[in-house]
Structure 1
Amino acid sequence: MTRCVSFVTTLYNKAVFLPFVLAGLKAQTGPFEREFVFVDDGSTDNTVALLKELTEDWTDPVTIVEQENQGPSMASNNGFAVATGDLIKPVDGDDMLNPWCTAALLEAMEQFGTEIAHGLVSPETFDPTGKEPAEAFLERQVDPGGAPILYKNALVRSLQRSRTNPTSWLATADLVKRSGGCDPDIFIQDYSIELRLMHLAGKAAFTSRNIFVPPKEAPERLSGNEAQILHDLNMALASFLDENPLPLTQKFLAYRRALRRCWAWARRQKGQKTPFSKVHRAYLRVYFPFGISPDHIRKESTVFQQGARLRIPGAR
């Protein structure tokens, strides 16, 4: 049976990146059917008009969803909801897929019989405002090859490494549906859905091949807001721990990762370098973690809000 991949791309003021994003989507190789779902999250530039123009002659199904600005979590979930393929490939609106991306991920999934596979981001970047056309950039990309490997405990790997860019993974639509998608209470969607998927899947395939190329500079790229990223990583962990009764070893690993982020941020940004600082004392609790709860993560993560403007769904 021929597989069908739904490429779900979320967009917010991404007009300058569209030629590269679309070139990567169109260049995908492999023996599978494809559909393209684009969710515009209330763009105020000409993203939608340009998207319609550039995809007008595409022969594969194209669905464009337009919504008021709700953030990337809701945009992703709304895209997943209208996707009809048996596989889902998320794509951030400023990432360019390498031509072999989907085929490599699908090959890894099929080799190990997993519901999800993920790969690496390219060390190279593209310049959306440069002189080199997107197609020319793709033509000079070289597939490094490499055999995929299997992670037998995908959740532990995710807790240790937090590979949080959705553009790096491919999963079955059934797994995405069972996961509930992205946590709508967290602005940046990446880690919340990663934790859910890896927990449900149990095991995951990994390929060392470069899956996508990020932009050289993206003024509105969320990965540029470190405080928002670290805050949302911890909020995703706290919510995930509320939802799932994990073994103690995995709980302790999650607490250590979350509270260490708080301490490292306070030490670097706030100058709290002594072992007597409040944040450091909270971090040391993870070595005697009985009685600790996800609310401790939420409480200590307020350190990321000090001096930063974070987007928190539902907050006023």
Structure 2
Amino acid sequence: MSLNAPWMATGQSARTFKSRRKKPTDLISICLTNYNYGCYIIDALDSIAAQTHTALDLVVVDDHSTKDGSVDLITAWMEANQKRFWRASLIVHARNLGPSAARNTAFGHAMGTFVFVMDADNTIYPRALARLHEAARDGGFDATYSQIEFFGREQRLGLADIWDPMQMARENYVDVMALVRRQAWMDVDGYSHIDAGWEDYDFWLKFMDHGLEAGYVPEILCRYRVHGDSRTTNDAWAAHESLRAIMAFRHPELTARARMATQVVKA
């Protein structure tokens, strides 16, 4: 990751609460990104504070929220819950840059070897970080992910399954909610901005382009909120075919191998 990357100059640290304790060896950073989700973010923060894994480094990036009092809500919550974390930081973008830049800002400030990625409208179950970290550590994976549970307007399970590059090249089934080794994020040059969405899919395809491995934890650990204001609902589905073409253009070798494998199966 270039030290002169544009995202590094966009964030301003609004507040940081840091423990005087020595940095734990099992410290996990949480990348929580927010944009006008003041009505949901306290649920997300509460679910993070309730984790059974104790050593946590919370990095919240507000991507220039303008429609609600997100920054004030986050600041007040951190003041009330700061003792729960080894460090809790709020970083506010000077202008809206999108989810990829917000995640890159969080990774750039993270101090843990592993970083859990999460949007402010979602929540996680108490064992989520402990189980994902255990699997990453014991399996030597560059990332770990779980099955997800949809809630809100829809109640159902996600489609997560074992890590299979050929299947992933055909269709994404791994959510952005995952524990990622910070070095792996650097190796793939972070998240890339994709108009209308699919930044998470592009990130996983870059993982495979670089020969990195992710491990599947077959437990329901993360909860994805379905609502009418999500970017996936508003943008990504409407641009489905054009985004698929963009993925094929950005990852030609992987998508070509997947297409050939499909043709062989059909034959």
TM over 0.5: yes
Which residue does 2:11 correspond to in 1? none
Which residue does 1:210 correspond to in 2? 220
> How has the CA–CA distance of structure 1 residues 86 and 230 changed in structure 2, closer, same or farther, with 3 Å as cutoff?
farther
Which residue does 2:33 correspond to in 1? 10
- Structure 1 moving runs of 4+ over 4 Å: 245-248
Which residue does 1:249 correspond to in 2? 257
Q: Which residue of the other structure, out of 191, 200, 206, is the alignment partner of 2:201?
A: 191
Segment of structure 1 superposing worse, 195-204 or 108-117: 195-204
Structure 1 residue 150: deviation in Å? 6.1
Measured in 1, the distance between the counterparts of 2:61 and 2:25 equals 26
Does residue 64 of the first structure (1) align with residue 90 of the second (2)? Answer: yes
Does residue 102 of the first structure (1) align with residue 111 of the second (2)? Answer: no
Is the CA contact 2:132–2:217 (under 8 Å) kept in the aligned structure 1? yes
Structure 1 residue 228: deviation in Å? 3.7
> How has the CA–CA distance of structure 1 residues 23 and 247 changed in structure 2, closer, same or farther, with 3 Å as cutoff?
closer
> How has the CA–CA distance of structure 1 residues 47 and 231 changed in structure 2, closer, same or farther, with 3 Å as cutoff?
farther
Which residue does 1:239 correspond to in 2? 250
> How has the CA–CA distance of structure 1 residues 247 and 71 changed in structure 2, closer, same or farther, with 3 Å as cutoff?
closer
Instruction: Find the residue that maps to 1:182 and give its secondary structure.
Output: coil
TM-score by length of 2: 0.75
Instruction: Find the residue that maps to 1:90 and give its secondary structure.
Output: strand
Measured in 1, the distance between the counterparts of 2:248 and 2:125 equals 30
Measured in 1, the distance between the counterparts of 2:45 and 2:31 equals 12
Q: Which letter does structure 1 place at the counterpart of 2:203? A: I
> How has the CA–CA distance of structure 1 residues 53 and 229 changed in structure 2, closer, same or farther, with 3 Å as cutoff?
farther
Structure 1 residue 198: deviation in Å? 3.5
Structure 1 residue 119: deviation in Å? 1.0
Q: Which letter does structure 2 place at the counterpart of 1:178? A: D
Structure 1 residue 248: deviation in Å? 5.0
Does residue 170 of the first structure (1) align with residue 179 of the second (2)? Answer: yes
Report matched runs for 1:1-316 at 5 Å: 2-30=25-53, 33-44=55-66, 45-57=68-80, 58-59=82-83, 60=85, 61-67=87-93, 68-123=95-150, 125-126=151-152, 151=163, 154-167=164-177, 169-188=178-197, 189-215=199-225, 217-225=226-234, 226-228=237-239, 231-241=242-252, 245-246=253-254, 249-250=257-258, 252=260
Is the CA contact 1:7–1:35 (under 8 Å) kept in the aligned structure 2? yes
Structure 1 residue 206: deviation in Å? 0.5
Is the CA contact 1:115–1:201 (under 8 Å) kept in the aligned structure 2? no
Give me the identity figure in percent: 20
Q: Which letter does structure 1 place at the counterpart of 2:113? A: D
Structure 1 residue 211: deviation in Å? 2.1
Measured in 2, the distance between the counterparts of 1:212 and 1:113 equals 21
User: How many pairs does the alignment contain?
Assistant: 226
Q: Which letter does structure 1 place at the counterpart of 2:57? A: E
Measured in 1, the distance between the counterparts of 2:41 and 2:47 equals 10
Is the CA contact 1:198–1:204 (under 8 Å) kept in the aligned structure 2? no
Structure 1 residue 201: deviation in Å? 4.6
Unaligned runs of 5+ in 2: 1-23, 154-160
Segment of structure 1 superposing worse, 12-21 or 53-62: 53-62
Per-residue CA distance 1:112-149 (angstroms, 9 max, x = gap): 221111111114x258xxxxxxxxxxxxxxxxxxxxx9
Unaligned runs of 5+ in 1: 128-148, 257-285, 288-316
Measured in 1, the distance between the counterparts of 2:42 and 2:255 equals 46
TM-score by length of 1: 0.64
More strand by share: 2
Measured in 2, the distance between the counterparts of 1:194 and 1:175 equals 11
Larger radius of gyration between Structure 1 and Structure 2:
1
